[in-house]
Amino acid sequence: MISRRQLRIKALQSLYAYYASGREDMGRSEKELHFNIGKAFELYHYLLILIIDIILYAESRMELARNKRIPTHEDLHPNTRFIDNALVDQLRNNAQLLRYADQHKLNWSNYPELIKELYTKIIASEEFSLYMSAAESGYSEDKKFVTHIFTHLIFPSELLASILEEQSIYWNDDLEFITSMIVKTIKKFKAEDGPEKLLMELYKNEEDREYVVRLFRQTILHREEYMEYIKQNTRNWDLERIAFMDILIMQMAIAELIGFPSIPTKVSLNEYLEISKYYSTSKSNVFINGVLDKVMLQLKEERKILKKGRGLIGEND
């Protein structure tokens, strides 16, 4: 589930904390790195059960209407298309989701205001009206509507963002990515899937798990070596005036260029330039690009970059 870019970001965050803490305890920081990554997986499940709680709230509202002292015809014969959403029903019975939520004590019971706000926004939306009144209804329509809820109502919610920020500092930058993973999860569901349908795994494969640990370790263990490359290629700059985050990003990029022969240099450079757009200053992107271009040429001249694997022909020229 966790993409390579997210792993790079998690490693960057942990490296920043490693140096900022003043302790420089690599073992402890590595544990925090794993914890940080695990929190993203927790958020994935947490948001999946959010849509279930919204449906439960809708059911409770419908039940209250039925039990009015003088119920209307609509109260007694409501349109149940929303609460009967087939995709949400699958999530409500998904063994993996229920097991994870129980093990990690995940629930939204302390945030009724969020459930109410999201429900109110859903039923007030034009898409809800179209969904509820559509002549055609079925599994495909149910999936599309749940996807719309996540991308257009849950993800943009300021109240949700505030609540997540209060609960965990690790979730500040995860919401957009996790929402995209939920959309991918929804797309993979089929009408015939039962309660044993598998959700996403934390890592796509064991290689990704090893990648983030090696990247974290190598950036720390070869810090002085990588700093020397940065110094040699920023001769007109005072290192103390270069943003610390810029230095970390460049150190990580160098670690990846040298230490991961199966990753194309272009991929590494592009990834760290993209990360710099969000995690450093407005001018960092151009600066980092210029420095890394020079460092890469130097590393190639010194034969420090040796790529191998499919699709990497010519990388070592």
pLDDT score at 312: 64
pLDDT score at 251: 97
Same domain, 69 and 133: yes
Predicted confidence (pLDDT) per residue in 155-171, tens digit: 999 999 999 999 999 99
In a domain, 316, yes or no: no
Mean pLDDT calculated for residue range 269-292: 92
In a domain, 59, yes or no: yes
- pLDDT band at 317; cut points 50, 70, 90: low
In a domain, 212, yes or no: no
The CATH number assigned to the domain holding 232 equals: 1.10.940.10
Please check whether residue 185 is in contact with residue 200, taking contact to mean a CB–CB distance below 8 angstroms. yes
Same domain, 234 and 161: no
- pLDDT band at 306; cut points 50, 70, 90: confident
The secondary structure of residue 153, as a DSSP letter, is I
How many whole angstroms separate alpha carbon 48 and alpha carbon 182? 7
How many whole angstroms separate alpha carbon 151 and alpha carbon 143? 12
In a domain, 210, yes or no: no
Same domain, 248 and 112: no
Same domain, 118 and 229: no
pLDDT score at 239: 67
Instruction: Please tell me the total count of domains within the chain.
Output: 2
Same domain, 36 and 158: yes
Q: Which amino acid is at 137?
A: S
Same domain, 82 and 19: yes
The percent of residues above 90 in pLDDT, for the chain, comes to 83
- Whole-angstrom CA distances from 245 to 62, 133, 252, 271 are 52, 52, 11, 15
Task: Return the sign of the alpha-carbon dihedral for residues 162, 165, 167, 171.
Answer: positive
In a domain, 277, yes or no: yes
Q: Is the pLDDT of residue 233 over 70?
A: yes
pLDDT score at 307: 84
Mean pLDDT calculated for residue range 124-133: 97
pLDDT score at 241: 73
How many whole angstroms separate alpha carbon 293 and alpha carbon 112? 52
Same domain, 57 and 179: yes
Q: Which amino acid is at 69?
A: R
Same domain, 56 and 125: yes
Same domain, 177 and 112: yes
Same domain, 112 and 65: yes
pLDDT score at 182: 98
Mean pLDDT calculated for residue range 76-105: 96
Predicted confidence (pLDDT) per residue in 5-45, tens digit: 999 999 999 999 999 988 878 999 999 999 999 999 999 99
Same domain, 259 and 170: no
pLDDT score at 188: 97
pLDDT score at 311: 57
In a domain, 39, yes or no: yes
pLDDT score at 282: 81
In the block, which residue shows the tokens 């965050």? 13
Same domain, 52 and 175: yes
Tell me the pLDDT of the chain averaged across its residues: 94
In a domain, 193, yes or no: no
In a domain, 272, yes or no: yes
pLDDT score at 22: 82
**Structural domain boundaries, residue 20:** 4-188
